[in-house]
Amino acid sequence: MKILIFSASTGGGHKRAAAALEATIHRLNPEAQVTVVDGLRAIGKVYDTTAVKGYYFLVKKAPKLYGGIYKVTDRKNIAYKAAMQINASKSKKLLEEIEKHDPDVIIMCHAFITVMVSKLKKQGKLSGVRTIALITDYDAHRTYVAPDIDAYVLAEPQMAPKLIEEFGVDESRIFPLGIPTFEQFSVPGVREEICRREGLDPNKTTVLLMAGSFGVTGVLKFYKKLARVNNDLQFIVITGKNEKLYEKLQEVVAEEGAADRTKLLYFVNNVEDYMHVSDLIVTKPGGLTISEALACHLPMAIYNAYPGQEQFNVNFLLKQNAAISVDKKTGAEEICRLLDSPERLEEMRENCIRLARPNAAEDMYKLAKKLDDENHTGEPA
Protein backbone atom coordinates (compact mmCIF):
# COMPACT_ATOMS: atom_id res chain seq x y z
CA MET A 1 0.00 0.00 0.00
CA LYS A 2 1.23 3.47 -0.92
CA ILE A 3 0.22 6.30 1.38
CA LEU A 4 0.76 9.99 0.63
CA ILE A 5 0.51 12.34 3.61
CA PHE A 6 0.16 16.07 2.99
CA SER A 7 1.35 18.38 5.76
CA ALA A 8 1.89 22.16 5.87
CA SER A 9 4.10 24.67 7.66
CA THR A 10 1.35 26.85 9.12
CA GLY A 11 2.34 26.12 12.70
CA GLY A 12 4.17 23.01 13.86
CA GLY A 13 1.15 20.78 14.42
CA HIS A 14 0.41 19.68 10.87
CA LYS A 15 3.98 18.55 10.26
CA ARG A 16 4.28 16.83 13.62
CA ALA A 17 1.05 14.89 13.15
CA ALA A 18 2.23 13.77 9.72
CA ALA A 19 5.61 12.70 11.08
CA ALA A 20 4.01 10.74 13.93
CA LEU A 21 1.71 8.99 11.51
CA GLU A 22 4.58 8.16 9.16
CA ALA A 23 6.66 6.69 12.00
CA THR A 24 3.76 4.57 13.23
CA ILE A 25 2.96 3.18 9.79
CA HIS A 26 6.59 2.21 9.25
CA ARG A 27 6.62 0.50 12.64
CA LEU A 28 3.42 -1.44 11.94
CA ASN A 29 4.13 -2.23 8.31
CA PRO A 30 7.75 -1.77 7.17
CA GLU A 31 6.73 -2.67 3.62
CA ALA A 32 4.24 0.18 3.30
CA GLN A 33 5.39 3.04 1.10
CA VAL A 34 4.76 6.26 3.01
CA THR A 35 5.62 9.71 1.66
CA VAL A 36 5.15 12.98 3.54
CA VAL A 37 4.95 16.12 1.41
CA ASP A 38 4.46 19.75 2.39
CA GLY A 39 1.36 20.30 0.28
CA LEU A 40 1.46 24.08 0.24
CA ARG A 41 5.11 24.11 -0.77
CA ALA A 42 4.47 21.57 -3.51
CA ILE A 43 1.95 23.90 -5.13
CA GLY A 44 4.47 26.68 -5.50
CA LYS A 45 6.73 29.09 -3.65
CA VAL A 46 4.43 32.10 -4.01
CA TYR A 47 1.35 30.26 -2.72
CA ASP A 48 3.30 28.65 0.15
CA THR A 49 4.91 31.93 1.20
CA THR A 50 1.61 33.78 1.06
CA ALA A 51 -0.26 31.14 3.06
CA VAL A 52 2.44 30.52 5.67
CA LYS A 53 3.68 34.07 6.20
CA GLY A 54 0.14 35.40 6.02
CA TYR A 55 -0.93 32.98 8.73
CA TYR A 56 2.00 33.83 11.00
CA PHE A 57 1.48 37.57 10.50
CA LEU A 58 -2.20 37.39 11.37
CA VAL A 59 -1.90 35.26 14.51
CA LYS A 60 1.09 37.22 15.82
CA LYS A 61 0.36 40.77 14.73
CA ALA A 62 -3.40 40.84 14.16
CA PRO A 63 -4.96 38.01 16.20
CA LYS A 64 -8.37 39.70 16.43
CA LEU A 65 -8.50 39.98 12.65
CA TYR A 66 -7.50 36.32 12.36
CA GLY A 67 -10.23 35.38 14.83
CA GLY A 68 -12.75 37.33 12.77
CA ILE A 69 -11.71 35.56 9.58
CA TYR A 70 -11.89 32.19 11.34
CA LYS A 71 -15.40 32.96 12.56
CA VAL A 72 -16.68 34.33 9.26
CA THR A 73 -15.36 31.43 7.16
CA ASP A 74 -17.01 28.93 9.51
CA ARG A 75 -20.37 29.96 8.01
CA LYS A 76 -21.79 29.61 4.52
CA ASN A 77 -21.28 33.07 3.07
CA ILE A 78 -19.31 34.94 0.42
CA ALA A 79 -16.08 34.89 2.44
CA TYR A 80 -16.28 31.12 2.94
CA LYS A 81 -17.05 30.48 -0.74
CA ALA A 82 -14.20 32.75 -1.82
CA ALA A 83 -11.73 30.95 0.43
CA MET A 84 -12.82 27.57 -0.89
CA GLN A 85 -12.63 28.70 -4.53
CA ILE A 86 -9.16 30.20 -4.12
CA ASN A 87 -7.79 26.99 -2.65
CA ALA A 88 -9.64 24.73 -5.07
CA SER A 89 -8.09 26.68 -7.96
CA LYS A 90 -4.67 25.30 -6.99
CA SER A 91 -5.73 21.67 -7.35
CA LYS A 92 -4.03 21.22 -10.74
CA LYS A 93 -0.62 21.88 -9.21
CA LEU A 94 -1.37 19.45 -6.41
CA LEU A 95 -2.36 16.79 -8.93
CA GLU A 96 1.13 16.99 -10.44
CA GLU A 97 2.58 16.12 -7.03
CA ILE A 98 0.09 13.31 -6.44
CA GLU A 99 0.84 11.71 -9.80
CA LYS A 100 4.53 11.51 -8.88
CA HIS A 101 3.71 9.17 -6.00
CA ASP A 102 0.68 7.27 -7.37
CA PRO A 103 -0.83 6.67 -3.90
CA ASP A 104 -3.56 4.27 -2.85
CA VAL A 105 -4.52 6.53 0.07
CA ILE A 106 -4.06 10.27 0.59
CA ILE A 107 -4.13 11.73 4.11
CA MET A 108 -4.56 15.51 4.37
CA CYS A 109 -3.40 17.27 7.53
CA HIS A 110 -4.45 20.75 6.36
CA ALA A 111 -7.79 22.18 5.32
CA PHE A 112 -6.49 23.86 2.15
CA ILE A 113 -5.19 20.54 0.84
CA THR A 114 -8.49 18.83 1.63
CA VAL A 115 -10.33 21.32 -0.59
CA MET A 116 -7.93 20.68 -3.49
CA VAL A 117 -8.14 16.90 -3.15
CA SER A 118 -11.93 17.17 -3.03
CA LYS A 119 -11.99 19.03 -6.35
CA LEU A 120 -9.71 16.45 -7.95
CA LYS A 121 -11.96 13.65 -6.71
CA LYS A 122 -15.02 15.39 -8.11
CA GLN A 123 -13.30 15.76 -11.47
CA GLY A 124 -12.57 12.02 -11.50
CA LYS A 125 -8.81 12.56 -11.50
CA LEU A 126 -8.16 10.44 -8.40
CA SER A 127 -10.02 7.33 -9.43
CA GLY A 128 -9.42 4.51 -6.97
CA VAL A 129 -7.61 6.73 -4.45
CA ARG A 130 -9.07 6.84 -0.93
CA THR A 131 -8.89 10.12 0.98
CA ILE A 132 -8.74 10.91 4.70
CA ALA A 133 -8.95 14.42 6.18
CA LEU A 134 -7.33 14.85 9.60
CA ILE A 135 -8.56 17.80 11.65
CA THR A 136 -5.64 18.79 13.86
CA ASP A 137 -7.55 20.88 16.41
CA TYR A 138 -10.40 20.38 18.85
CA ASP A 139 -12.89 22.34 16.76
CA ALA A 140 -14.46 21.29 13.48
CA HIS A 141 -14.13 24.26 11.12
CA ARG A 142 -16.19 24.42 7.93
CA THR A 143 -13.15 24.83 5.65
CA TYR A 144 -12.01 21.32 6.58
CA VAL A 145 -15.16 19.84 5.05
CA ALA A 146 -15.48 19.23 1.33
CA PRO A 147 -17.39 16.82 -0.93
CA ASP A 148 -16.08 13.40 -1.94
CA ILE A 149 -13.76 12.91 1.05
CA ASP A 150 -13.94 9.30 2.25
CA ALA A 151 -13.21 9.84 5.94
CA TYR A 152 -12.78 12.58 8.52
CA VAL A 153 -10.59 11.88 11.54
CA LEU A 154 -11.44 14.04 14.56
CA ALA A 155 -9.50 14.86 17.71
CA GLU A 156 -12.40 13.81 19.93
CA PRO A 157 -16.02 12.59 19.64
CA GLN A 158 -17.76 15.83 20.67
CA MET A 159 -16.73 17.39 17.36
CA ALA A 160 -18.91 14.95 15.40
CA PRO A 161 -22.33 16.60 15.86
CA LYS A 162 -21.10 19.82 14.25
CA LEU A 163 -19.91 17.94 11.16
CA ILE A 164 -23.17 16.03 10.92
CA GLU A 165 -25.70 18.74 11.78
CA GLU A 166 -24.05 21.89 10.41
CA PHE A 167 -21.83 20.60 7.60
CA GLY A 168 -23.94 17.66 6.42
CA VAL A 169 -21.22 15.01 6.70
CA ASP A 170 -22.52 11.44 6.74
CA GLU A 171 -21.91 9.87 10.14
CA SER A 172 -20.37 6.80 8.51
CA ARG A 173 -17.47 8.96 7.30
CA ILE A 174 -16.61 10.34 10.75
CA PHE A 175 -13.94 8.70 12.90
CA PRO A 176 -13.04 10.33 16.26
CA LEU A 177 -9.72 8.52 16.52
CA GLY A 178 -7.66 11.39 17.94
CA ILE A 179 -4.68 13.35 16.64
CA PRO A 180 -1.62 11.17 15.94
CA THR A 181 1.28 11.48 18.36
CA PHE A 182 4.58 9.65 18.52
CA GLU A 183 4.50 6.38 20.45
CA GLN A 184 6.93 7.59 23.11
CA PHE A 185 4.40 10.10 24.46
CA SER A 186 2.16 7.23 25.53
CA VAL A 187 4.97 5.06 26.92
CA PRO A 188 6.43 6.86 29.95
CA GLY A 189 9.98 6.27 31.00
CA VAL A 190 10.99 5.90 34.62
CA ARG A 191 10.85 9.34 36.24
CA GLU A 192 13.97 8.79 38.35
CA GLU A 193 16.00 7.64 35.35
CA ILE A 194 14.94 10.56 33.17
CA CYS A 195 15.63 13.06 35.96
CA ARG A 196 19.07 11.58 36.64
CA ARG A 197 19.94 11.73 32.94
CA GLU A 198 18.67 15.30 32.56
CA GLY A 199 20.08 16.64 35.82
CA LEU A 200 16.67 17.13 37.48
CA ASP A 201 15.50 16.43 41.02
CA PRO A 202 12.79 13.71 40.91
CA ASN A 203 11.45 14.83 44.29
CA LYS A 204 10.69 18.40 43.31
CA THR A 205 7.41 19.66 41.86
CA THR A 206 8.26 20.35 38.24
CA VAL A 207 6.72 22.91 35.89
CA LEU A 208 7.37 22.66 32.16
CA LEU A 209 7.11 25.92 30.21
CA MET A 210 6.97 25.78 26.42
CA ALA A 211 7.07 28.70 24.02
CA GLY A 212 5.48 26.81 21.14
CA SER A 213 6.27 26.95 17.43
CA PHE A 214 5.94 30.75 17.42
CA GLY A 215 8.55 31.25 20.13
CA VAL A 216 6.08 33.26 22.22
CA THR A 217 7.77 35.56 24.74
CA GLY A 218 4.85 35.31 27.18
CA VAL A 219 6.64 32.31 28.67
CA LEU A 220 9.36 34.71 29.87
CA LYS A 221 6.95 36.65 32.09
CA PHE A 222 5.48 33.49 33.56
CA TYR A 223 8.89 32.10 34.39
CA LYS A 224 10.02 35.29 36.15
CA LYS A 225 6.91 35.44 38.31
CA LEU A 226 6.87 31.74 39.14
CA ALA A 227 10.56 31.72 40.05
CA ARG A 228 9.92 34.55 42.50
CA VAL A 229 6.65 33.28 43.96
CA ASN A 230 7.81 29.75 44.82
CA ASN A 231 11.42 28.85 45.59
CA ASP A 232 10.61 25.15 45.82
CA LEU A 233 9.54 24.71 42.20
CA GLN A 234 11.77 23.11 39.59
CA PHE A 235 11.50 24.43 36.02
CA ILE A 236 12.05 23.07 32.55
CA VAL A 237 11.86 25.85 29.96
CA ILE A 238 11.87 25.06 26.23
CA THR A 239 12.09 28.10 23.98
CA GLY A 240 11.73 26.41 20.61
CA LYS A 241 13.76 27.91 17.76
CA ASN A 242 13.83 31.37 19.28
CA GLU A 243 17.42 32.45 19.92
CA LYS A 244 16.52 35.85 21.37
CA LEU A 245 14.14 34.30 23.90
CA TYR A 246 16.72 31.68 24.83
CA GLU A 247 19.42 34.31 25.38
CA LYS A 248 17.07 36.52 27.38
CA LEU A 249 16.04 33.62 29.57
CA GLN A 250 19.69 32.83 30.26
CA GLU A 251 19.99 36.34 31.72
CA VAL A 252 16.74 36.06 33.69
CA VAL A 253 17.63 32.66 35.18
CA ALA A 254 20.91 34.14 36.44
CA GLU A 255 19.19 37.29 37.74
CA GLU A 256 16.64 35.25 39.68
CA GLY A 257 19.34 33.02 41.15
CA ALA A 258 17.41 29.99 39.92
CA ALA A 259 20.03 28.22 37.80
CA ASP A 260 20.13 25.27 40.21
CA ARG A 261 16.42 24.58 39.70
CA THR A 262 15.98 25.55 36.04
CA LYS A 263 16.77 23.47 32.98
CA LEU A 264 16.75 25.87 30.04
CA LEU A 265 16.56 24.29 26.61
CA TYR A 266 16.50 25.43 23.00
CA PHE A 267 14.83 23.20 20.39
CA VAL A 268 14.67 19.56 21.61
CA ASN A 269 13.75 16.20 20.08
CA ASN A 270 12.77 14.50 23.33
CA VAL A 271 10.02 16.76 24.64
CA GLU A 272 8.13 13.65 25.78
CA ASP A 273 10.77 13.02 28.47
CA TYR A 274 10.19 16.47 29.93
CA MET A 275 6.43 16.02 29.80
CA HIS A 276 6.63 12.67 31.57
CA VAL A 277 8.59 14.10 34.54
CA SER A 278 6.54 17.30 34.88
CA ASP A 279 3.55 17.97 37.12
CA LEU A 280 2.14 20.79 34.97
CA ILE A 281 2.82 22.31 31.57
CA VAL A 282 2.44 26.03 30.86
CA THR A 283 1.89 26.37 27.13
CA LYS A 284 -0.05 27.74 24.20
CA PRO A 285 -2.95 25.49 23.14
CA GLY A 286 -1.89 24.14 19.76
CA GLY A 287 -3.73 20.99 18.77
CA LEU A 288 -0.63 18.77 18.71
CA THR A 289 0.79 20.13 21.96
CA ILE A 290 -2.53 19.39 23.64
CA SER A 291 -2.66 15.86 22.25
CA GLU A 292 0.91 15.18 23.36
CA ALA A 293 0.22 16.52 26.85
CA LEU A 294 -2.92 14.39 27.11
CA ALA A 295 -0.95 11.34 25.99
CA CYS A 296 1.50 12.06 28.84
CA HIS A 297 -1.42 12.59 31.28
CA LEU A 298 -0.09 16.08 31.96
CA PRO A 299 -2.44 18.85 33.18
CA MET A 300 -2.12 22.18 31.39
CA ALA A 301 -2.04 25.87 32.21
CA ILE A 302 -2.91 27.66 28.98
CA TYR A 303 -1.81 31.20 28.15
CA ASN A 304 -2.10 33.62 25.27
CA ALA A 305 -4.55 31.67 23.11
CA TYR A 306 -5.32 33.59 19.94
CA PRO A 307 -8.92 33.79 18.70
CA GLY A 308 -9.90 30.94 16.43
CA GLN A 309 -8.91 27.32 16.81
CA GLU A 310 -6.67 27.94 19.84
CA GLN A 311 -9.52 29.51 21.77
CA PHE A 312 -11.77 26.59 20.86
CA ASN A 313 -9.02 24.24 22.04
CA VAL A 314 -8.95 26.07 25.37
CA ASN A 315 -12.73 25.97 25.71
CA PHE A 316 -12.66 22.21 25.21
CA LEU A 317 -9.94 21.66 27.82
CA LEU A 318 -11.63 23.90 30.39
CA LYS A 319 -14.95 22.14 29.90
CA GLN A 320 -13.23 18.80 30.45
CA ASN A 321 -11.29 20.12 33.49
CA ALA A 322 -7.96 19.11 31.99
CA ALA A 323 -6.50 22.63 32.03
CA ILE A 324 -6.72 26.08 33.54
CA SER A 325 -6.53 29.32 31.57
CA VAL A 326 -4.12 31.93 32.96
CA ASP A 327 -3.26 35.52 32.13
CA LYS A 328 -0.02 37.44 32.48
CA LYS A 329 -1.10 39.40 35.55
CA THR A 330 -2.35 36.71 37.92
CA GLY A 331 -1.25 33.55 36.12
CA ALA A 332 1.69 32.74 38.39
CA GLU A 333 -0.47 32.90 41.49
CA GLU A 334 -3.15 30.72 39.86
CA ILE A 335 -0.55 28.14 38.89
CA CYS A 336 0.85 28.05 42.42
CA ARG A 337 -2.62 27.60 43.90
CA LEU A 338 -3.20 24.67 41.56
CA LEU A 339 0.12 23.07 42.48
CA ASP A 340 -0.75 23.52 46.17
CA SER A 341 -3.94 21.51 45.61
CA PRO A 342 -2.88 17.89 44.99
CA GLU A 343 -6.50 16.71 44.84
CA ARG A 344 -7.42 19.18 42.10
CA LEU A 345 -4.24 18.45 40.15
CA GLU A 346 -4.88 14.70 40.37
CA GLU A 347 -8.44 15.19 39.15
CA MET A 348 -7.11 17.08 36.13
CA ARG A 349 -4.59 14.32 35.50
CA GLU A 350 -7.36 11.71 35.57
CA ASN A 351 -9.27 13.76 33.01
CA CYS A 352 -6.18 13.88 30.80
CA ILE A 353 -6.01 10.08 30.97
CA ARG A 354 -9.68 9.90 29.98
CA LEU A 355 -9.20 12.23 27.01
CA ALA A 356 -5.95 10.74 25.73
CA ARG A 357 -6.00 8.85 22.43
CA PRO A 358 -2.74 6.88 22.63
CA ASN A 359 -3.58 4.70 19.62
CA ALA A 360 -4.61 7.51 17.27
CA ALA A 361 -1.80 6.98 14.76
CA GLU A 362 -2.24 3.21 14.75
CA ASP A 363 -6.00 3.55 14.34
CA MET A 364 -5.53 5.97 11.44
CA TYR A 365 -3.32 3.45 9.69
CA LYS A 366 -5.94 0.74 10.24
CA LEU A 367 -8.57 3.07 8.76
CA ALA A 368 -6.37 3.75 5.73
CA LYS A 369 -5.81 0.02 5.25
CA LYS A 370 -9.53 -0.68 5.58
CA LEU A 371 -10.41 1.92 2.96
CA ASP A 372 -7.76 0.56 0.62
CA ASP A 373 -8.96 -3.02 1.14
CA GLU A 374 -12.54 -1.95 0.38
CA ASN A 375 -11.28 -0.28 -2.76
CA HIS A 376 -9.70 -3.48 -4.02
CA THR A 377 -12.74 -5.63 -3.17
CA GLY A 378 -15.05 -3.21 -4.96
CA GLU A 379 -16.96 -2.17 -1.86
CA PRO A 380 -17.89 1.49 -1.38
CA ALA A 381 -15.95 3.55 1.12
Residue range 165-193: mean pLDDT, rounded: 94
User: What pTM does this model have?
Assistant: 0.93
Query: What Cα–Cα distance (Å) separates residue 381 from each residue in 105, 111, 151, 373?
Result: 12, 21, 8, 10
CA distance 223 to 340: 17
Residue 378 scores a pLDDT above 70: no
pLDDT of residue 216: 60
What would the mean pLDDT of 73-88 be, rounded to a whole number?
A: 90
CB 309 within 8 A of CB 141: yes
pLDDT digits 0-9 by tens, 116-157: 999 999 999 999 999 999 999 999 999 999 999 999 999 999
Q: Is the pLDDT of residue 380 over 60?
A: no
Within 13 A of 163's CA, how many CA atoms are on the CB side?
29
| pLDDT tens by residue, 323-348 | 999 987 888 899 999 999 999 999 99
pLDDT given for residue 10 in this prediction: 87
CB atoms within 10 A of CB 264: 18
When mean pLDDT is compared over 52-66, 168-182, 204-218, the highest value belongs to 168-182
How far is the C-alpha of 308 from the C-alpha of 313, rounded, in Å? Answer: 9
What's the rounded Cα separation, in Å, for the pair 188 and 270?
12
As a whole number, mean pLDDT of residues 349-362 equals 97
pLDDT tens per residue across span 295-328: 999 999 998 888 999 999 999 999 999 999 998 7
Q: Is the pLDDT of residue 182 over 90?
A: yes
Average pLDDT over residues 42-66: 90
Query: CA 284 to CA 160: how far, in whole Å?
Result: 24
Counting residues of the chain whose pLDDT is more than 70, the rounded percentage is 97
Computed over every residue of the chain, the mean pLDDT equals 92
What structural domains and CATH numbers belong to the chain?
A: 2-180+358-377 (3.40.50.2000), 184-355 (3.40.50.2000)
**pLDDT at residue 381 is higher than 80:** no
Residue 207 Cα to chain centre, angstroms:
21
Q: Which amino acid is at 303?
A: Y
| pLDDT value, residue 285 | 92
